[in-house]
């Protein structure tokens, strides 16, 4: 399994009554695929997954699976917690969904198990998962950093297909990893403002919340770096990085939802506590950059 291009971690739109707005979710899913997204991610951070009930998670997954099934598009599903056993159970449950291409599994958060513990966690999961794993490396959310040597060892595990790499910049480990990644291991950009920089270093794609907006341009950016038109890629990359940075001016996905609502693509800009809606100024700043 190899990944390339732009994968969209879909937001969960809410209706006026607070319920999941299923039609809007389905519309967004089709729209981003129409615009050139390579695939979808269901139940990522951007979906406010921590605030969804079990039934709502099922509804979101059903909707994304239906769309990806119809469109023959890859579907990555967020699964995982700080505990190895419950993560393994969540992965087992994905057997029921033939449309699921891979699971996005975070480095265990809050526990800070050491890199040896991270390796043991993914080693145990790799032995029994029914779908390939994409490791979500996001130390500013998990509290656990994972260096290049460990990432390479993780990339060599059976059933580990890639990493969503979101370390808040382009550090030495990122450069070293992209210089020599394990075979069939996709290093996907997971920090939107650094998407272009990671593509320039050889990343095959990314998982990017801000690519709900201007999806076609994000897809074009990946293709332009791939084709070697560096002058065009650099200029487009700078423009999209500015857009991404403004989408992340407040906690994700508050600004994104404000913009999608202003565009009439979702019924409300509502987010669930502890997130609070983005301010008007942040939303207008993004709209100006569109």
Ligand X SMILES: O=C(O)C1=N[C@H](C(=O)O)C[C@H](O)C1
Binding residues for ligand X (CB under 6 A) = 9, 41, 44-46, 190, 192, 207-209, 252
Cβ at position 78, least distance to ligand X in Å: 7
Cβ at position 41, least distance to ligand X in Å: 5
135 has binding-site annotation = no
Residues 6+ apart with CB under 8 A from 50: none
- From the candidates 95, 140, 164, 257, give the one annotated as an active-site residue: 164
Residues 6+ apart with CB under 8 A from 25: 10, 12, 13, 60, 63, 64
Rank residues 116 and 191 by Cβ distance to ligand X and give the closer one.
Answer: 191
Is 164 considered catalytic here? Answer: yes
**Distance separating alpha carbons of residues 235 and 226, to the nearest angstrom:** 15
Parallel/antiparallel/unpaired status of strands 205-207 and 5-9 = parallel
46 has binding-site annotation = yes
Cβ at position 43, least distance to ligand X in Å: 9
Q: Does the CA dihedral 69-247-166-142 come out positive or negative?
A: negative
Q: How many CA atoms lie within 13 A of 115 on its CB side?
A: 10
Cβ at position 116, least distance to ligand X in Å: 26
- From the candidates 95, 136, 140, 257, give the one annotated as an active-site residue: 136
Rank residues 56 and 192 by Cβ distance to ligand X and give the closer one.
Answer: 192
Tokens 């990017």 identify what position?
208
Cβ at position 224, least distance to ligand X in Å: 20
The residue with its CB nearest to ligand X is 44
Q: In 3-state terms, what secondary structure has residue 105?
A: strand
Q: In 3-state terms, what secondary structure has residue 64?
A: helix
Rank residues 153 and 220 by Cβ distance to ligand X and give the closer one.
Answer: 220
Rank residues 135 and 207 by Cβ distance to ligand X and give the closer one.
Answer: 207
Is 136 considered catalytic here? Answer: yes
Closest CA to 15 of 275, 191, 269: 269
- Which residues pair with residue 186 across a beta bridge? 162
Tokens 């994104």 identify what position?
256
Rank residues 50 and 231 by Cβ distance to ligand X and give the closer one.
Answer: 50
Among all residues, which ones are annotated catalytic?
Answer: 136, 164
Residues forming the annotated binding site for pyruvate? 46, 207
């Amino acid at each position: 399994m190899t990944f390339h291009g732009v994968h969209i971690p879909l937001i969960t739109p809410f209706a006026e009554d607070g319920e999941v707005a299923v039609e809007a979710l389905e519309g967004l899913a089709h729209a981003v695929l129409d615009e050139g997204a390579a695939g979808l991610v269901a139940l990522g951070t951007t979906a406010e997954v921590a605030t969804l009930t079990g039934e709502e998670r099922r509804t979101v997954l059903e909707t994304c699976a239906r769309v990806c099934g119809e469109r023959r598009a890859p579907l990555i599903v967020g699964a995982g917690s700080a505990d190895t056993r419950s993560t393994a159970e969540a992965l087992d449950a994905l057997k029921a969904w033939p449309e699921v291409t891979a699971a996005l599994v975070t480095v265990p958060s809050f526990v800070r198990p050491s890199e040896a513990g991270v390796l043991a966690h993914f080693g145990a999961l790799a032995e029994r998962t029914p779908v390939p794993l994409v490791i979500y490396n996001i130390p500013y959310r998990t509290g656990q950093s994972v260096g290049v040597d460990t990432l390479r060892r993780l990339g060599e595990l059976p059933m580990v297909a890639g990493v969503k790499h979101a370390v808040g910049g382009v550090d030495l480990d990122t450069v070293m990893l992209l210089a020599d990644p394990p075979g069939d291991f996709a290093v996907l950009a997971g920090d939107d403002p650094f998407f272009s920089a990671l593509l320039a270093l050889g990343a095959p794609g990314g998982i990017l919340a801000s690519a709900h907006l201007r999806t076609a341009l994000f897809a074009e950016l990946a293709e332009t770096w791939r084709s070697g038109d560096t002058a065009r890629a650099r200029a487009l990359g700078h423009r999209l990085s500015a857009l991404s940075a403004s989408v992340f001016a407040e906690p994700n996905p508050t600004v994104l939802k404000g913009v999608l609502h202003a565009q009439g693509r979702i019924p409300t800009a509502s987010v669930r506590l502890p997130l609070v809606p983005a301010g008007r100024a942040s939303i207008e700043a993004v709209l100006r950059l569109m």
